[in-house]
Each structure stands twice: as C-alpha cells, then as structure tokens.
C-alpha cells in the first residue's frame, strides 16, 4: 500500500431499527482488509441511538476489543436531562443528526431557540472534539453562527442537507468547518479540496451506504500530491480528534 496509514472517518456499526439492517464487526473488518484500511471510526445508526443510549455503550465496548475501531458518540435528543454528556472522554467525537427533526429530510428549527442549546454547545466545545453534523443548509448556517468555535465535520460534502456547492460557498471562509467525502463524486471532492485546501476534507465511506473500497478509490485517484492525500486519509482525522493510535 502506498500509504502507511489510512483511516475511514465515517462508517456505521450495529443495527438500524428503521432500515432493518445490521453492520457487523465481521463485515467492517472484511471491508477494511479488502480496501487496505487500518482504522475506522464507527457511528451508531440514528434510529437505534434515538431509541436507546445502549448503542453508544455497545460501540465503546466493541472498540475496546476490536483492533482498528475508533468510537463516535451519538448526541441523543435527551440533551436536556441532568448530567447529559454529549461526548464522553473515551469517544473521538460526536454525531449530531437532524436533532429532534425528521431524519434525513427536515431540520427542527425550534432547537435553535432552545434555552438549553448554548449550554450543550459549551459542553461540546470544551471537549475540543469534532462533531459530525448533519442538518439542512440553513439550519447549519444558523447553528454555526451560534457555535462559533466548535469543530464541525459536515458529512457527504453536505449532500443530504442540500446542494454540496451551496455548503461549500457558505462555509469556505470558516476554518472550523470541515467536510467528509463519503458518497460524493470524485469531481466534487476535488473541487472541495481545491477550494478549501486538503486540510479541511476527510476520507469517509459511510458503510453500509458506500463501500470502503469504492470510496477510498475516489481519494486515491484524485490529482493531488501524496502529502495532500495523506491529509485526507489520516492526518486531518488525527489532528481534529486528537486520537492516539
């Protein structure tokens, strides 16, 4: 392999209540071996995490016994409960997904007016860890204005929240906003890298919606220097999360 270290920054693990699917450890290890990937950051499916916090616990337990797994913590909708911890120490970052809205389709703008939101943002900010943040473009813009110092990774180059190029234009001047490449076209990935710089784009596969091999091939085939590809494939993730491998 041309690169000593490759990290898939975005994959799901476990079962999905709404999709009726289950991404197993065996399947992720198979894809990692086939694609030549060393580590994978694993995220719960939203429907399962909303139903119960048990999946956050299970993901952490799985990473402790499986070499190559790095856990993300799903930030659940009950953030108003006493003692809520959005990103416990053992996790590399958080996942924010259409908070109290219609999953994958409509943001709930009432969240932005919640008096408890600033406290949640502060809890996240002081961890210094990134949040994979998925909402509509307008919601994301409003949230970013509130959470000025939070490190935010927008998955799929914004594909599920609107037009990727609208996201690019909205956030190209904000150095705390990053993007992952999962499911995006190779041309769009290259446009983002050229506009933002290679230090603000991360490689991700979004298994089971993409495969590690096919998503990685997009990055490896980009017309970029080896140094720039290393940023996308591992160095950006390590810098943002502070993970020790």
**Is 205 in contact with 39 (CB distance < 8 Å)?**
no
pTM of the full structure:
0.97
In a domain, 233, yes or no: yes
pLDDT value at position 82? Answer: 87
Residue 118: which pLDDT band, with cuts at 50, 70 and 90? very high
What's the rounded mean pLDDT across residues 202-219?
98
pLDDT value at position 2? Answer: 86
In a domain, 100, yes or no: yes
- The CATH number covering residue 124 comes to 3.20.20.140
Mean pLDDT lowest for which of 24-38, 97-111, 215-229? 97-111
Question: How many structural domains does the chain have?
Answer: 1
What's the rounded mean pLDDT across residues 39-61?
97
pLDDT at position 52 over 80:
yes
pLDDT value at position 32? Answer: 98
In a domain, 28, yes or no: yes
What's the rounded mean pLDDT across residues 186-193?
98
* Rounded-to-integer distance, Cα 176 and Cα 152, Å: 6
Residue 102: which pLDDT band, with cuts at 50, 70 and 90? confident
Residue 145: which pLDDT band, with cuts at 50, 70 and 90? very high
pLDDT at position 105 over 80:
no
CA distances to 16, 30, 82, 99, 126 from 135, rounded to whole Å, are 19, 31, 25, 8, 22
Residue-averaged pLDDT of the chain: 96
pLDDT value at position 81? Answer: 86
pLDDT at position 129 over 80:
yes
pLDDT value at position 1? Answer: 63
pLDDT value at position 131? Answer: 98
In a domain, 42, yes or no: yes
In a domain, 36, yes or no: yes
Mean pLDDT lowest for which of 8-22, 92-106, 113-127? 92-106
* Rounded-to-integer distance, Cα 90 and Cα 72, Å: 9
In the chain, the percentage of residues whose pLDDT exceeds 90 is 94
State the residue range of the domain holding 73: 7-241
CA distances to 38, 75, 95, 171 from 69, rounded to whole Å, are 9, 19, 16, 30
How is 115-176 classified by DSSP, letter by letter?
TTHHHHHHHHHHHT--EEEE--HHHHHHHHHHSTT--EEEGGGGTTTS-HHHHHHHHTT-TT
In a domain, 1, yes or no: no
Residue 67: which pLDDT band, with cuts at 50, 70 and 90? very high
């Amino acid at each position: 392999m041309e690169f000593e270290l490759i990290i898939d920054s975005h994959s799901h693990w476990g079962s999905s209540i709404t999709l009726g699917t289950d991404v197993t450890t065996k399947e992720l290890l198979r894809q990692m071996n086939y694609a030549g990937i060393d580590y994978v950051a694993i995220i719960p499916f939203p429907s399962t995490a909303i139903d119960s916090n048990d999946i956050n616990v299970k993901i952490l337990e799985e990473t402790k016994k499986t070499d190559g797994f790095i856990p993300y913590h799903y930030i659940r909708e009950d953030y108003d409960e006493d003692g809520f911890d959005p990103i416990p120490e053992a996790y590399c970052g958080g996942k924010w997904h259409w908070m109290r809205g219609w999953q994958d389709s409509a943001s709930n703008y009432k969240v932005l007016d919640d008096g408890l939101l600033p406290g949640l943002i502060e809890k996240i900010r002081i961890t210094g860890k990134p949040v994979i943040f998925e909402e509509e473009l307008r919601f994301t813009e409003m949230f970013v204005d509130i959470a000025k110092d939070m490190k935010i990774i927008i998955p799929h180059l914004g594909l599920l929240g609107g037009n990727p190029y609208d996201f690019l234009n909205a956030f190209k001047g904000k150095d705390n906003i990053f993007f992952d490449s999962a499911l995006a076209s190779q041309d769009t990935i290259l446009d983002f890298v050229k506009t933002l710089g290679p230090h603000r784009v991360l490689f991700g596969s979004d298994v089971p919606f993409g495969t590690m091999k096919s998503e990685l091939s997009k990055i490896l085939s980009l017309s970029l220097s080896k140094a720039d590809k290393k940023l996308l494939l591992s160095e950006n993730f390590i810098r943002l999360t502070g993970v020790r491998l």
